[in-house]
Structure 1
Amino acid sequence: MISEIQVHAIARQMLEMHGAAAIAQAAQKAVSCEHNGDAEEAREWRHIAEAMKMMRGPHQS
């Protein structure tokens, strides 16, 4: 299991590299991990996706 600091570091890097698409990529990685039977890694990718959503902030309207 990765630490909270690592989760936020990965989330920040992915957002910088891929923008808003990074959240979808993390979700896809989570699904892929589940299909491969790696539930722990899937949970980590979902945690990373949630961290990215928090970093992105509220939607602008």
Structure 2
Amino acid sequence: MNAVEINNYARQLYASEGPKALAEAAEMVRRYAQCGDKGLAEDWRRIEAALRELRGPIAS
């Protein structure tokens, strides 16, 4: 996936799942890494990073 696709997917996932989107992305990274699919695991890592950017900084 290219950067535009990653960001679009992250926005769609966040719009549909809200705060649960980050947990879902982390789970997908784990699944694909465990199965040995490095390409999809890396895509999901990038989606996870994009979701963190969308979420913004955490206030304390």
TM-score bin (small chain): over 0.9
Superposed displacement of residue 60, structure 1: 2.4
- Taking the aligned partners of 2:59 and 2:18, their CA distance within structure 1 comes to 16
Pairwise CA RMSD of aligned residues?
0.8
- Name the counterpart of 1:16: 15
**TM-score, length of structure 1 as denominator length:** 0.92
Matched residue of 2:58: which SS? Answer: coil
Structure 2 gap segments, 5+ residues each = none
Quote the sequence identity (%): 32
Structure 1 gap segments, 5+ residues each = none
Task: Give the count of matched residue pairs.
Answer: 60
**Greater than 2 Å deviation, 4+ residue runs:** none
Report Cα offsets for 1:29-59 as digits up to 9, x if no partner.
Answer: 0110011110111011010000010011111
**TM-score, length of structure 2 as denominator length:** 0.93
- Name the counterpart of 1:53: 52
